[in-house]
Amino acid sequence: MTLFIENKTEWDSPFELENITKSVAGAVLEMEHCPYEAQINILITDNSGIRELNEKYRRIDQPTDVLSFPNLLFEVPGEFYVEKGQEAACFDPDTGELLLGDIVVSVTQANAQADSYGHSLLREYAFLIAHSMLHLCGYDHMETAEAEVMEKKQEAILEKLKIIRA
């Protein structure tokens, strides 16, 4: 797996950002039985930056904690099927890795939510990456049943990695 992490803030992570991101993303891909090596882009921003993207892409003029931009369209969540003739749009020609998508995290929002929920920033960041990775794998939470599936998967990933609420 290749991660491209770009930090557009002055934030200096209090934990090993790349290691945690890779651990969580890898756990999701393993859980989902992704048959490919994957490439994921991560942008670390603040509330101003994510608000701008949220307005541009979702027409919601407010900050949010995380945005996901999947590169694949899934008929069934977690089924990594690439249509014949679409390989060029789905795989990096140099590495052969699946271009899974982009994740944008607001560290401002992550910090506020960690404080609000009474757990560590590490736990909140890991949760946001797990949540967003599931979106990149085709999951959503618009319906109650979908939300329950995502919640169970998120918790299982964090439990597996021993990233608990503390």
pLDDT tens-digit map of 115-150: 999 999 999 999 999 999 999 999 999 899 999 999
165, part of any domain: no
Among the listed residues 44, 39, 69, the one whose alpha carbon sits nearest the alpha carbon of residue 56: 69
- The continuous run of DSSP H or E covering 81 comes out as none
Say whether 12 sits in a helix, a strand or coil.
coil
Q: Grade residue 83 by pLDDT with cuts at 50, 70 and 90.
A: confident
112, part of any domain: yes
Please state, rounded to an integer, the average pLDDT across all residues of the chain: 96
Compute the average pLDDT of residues 88-110.
96
139, part of any domain: yes
The CATH number given to whatever domain includes residue 75 is: 3.40.390.30
The domain of 111 spans 2-160
21, part of any domain: yes
What is the pLDDT at residue 84? 87
How long a stretch of residues is the chain?
166
Give phi and psi for 10, each to the nearest 5: -90, 0
166, part of any domain: no
**Does this model's pTM top 0.75?**
yes
Per the structure, the count of domains in the chain is 1
73, part of any domain: yes
